[in-house]
Amino acid sequence: MQLPPQLEPIDIRITAWMARHGVTLTRLTLGVVFFWFGVIKFVPSWSPAADLATRTIDVLSFGLVPANVSLPLLAAWEVAIGLGLLTCRFLRATLLLLFLQMPGTMLPLVFFPQETFAAFPYSPTLEGQYIIKNLVLVSAALVVGATVRGGQLSPTPPDARTGH
């Protein structure tokens, strides 16, 4: 859609600002979410996901990892991801931890559909919505990961003639 000519300079400035700051803000906010959700898992009854998470780990580990071990381990894992994203240190390792964790966060949809869906598969419960939102976190992490080799967003499309 073509903008009116008087709005074009404003649109260019806004788009350039988003390209300059979008990945950094995505990384930082993703870090805040992981750090925050990790920290609350260390405090009994603060995390609404704690019970579902420990039961999922129990199923995955065939009952070999007790809740008093699995929840602090998961909390530390999430805090480590959060700190890595917030500090931008060890970003590849941080993203690896994130991508290793994400399939496990989706498993309650399979293991406990009676708790994650009011009506399978189209009406998730609050717990199901909490889990499904992780798809957005994965997408955000993909965007951040695309920059670990120096890539960045550009406010202008590539030149069709050169492909750059």
pLDDT band at 93 (very low <50, low <70, confident <90, very high): very high
Going from N- to C-terminal start, the domains of the chain cover: 25-145
pLDDT value of residue 25: 97
- Six token digits for residue 74: 């998961």
pLDDT value of residue 121: 86
pTM of the model: 0.88
The residues pairing with 138 across neighbouring beta strands, listed in sequence order, are none
pLDDT value of residue 161: 47
Q: ω into residue 121 within 30 of 0, thus cis?
A: yes
When pLDDT is averaged across residues 27-33 and rounded to a whole number, the result is 98
What kind and span of H or E run contains 84? helix 67-87
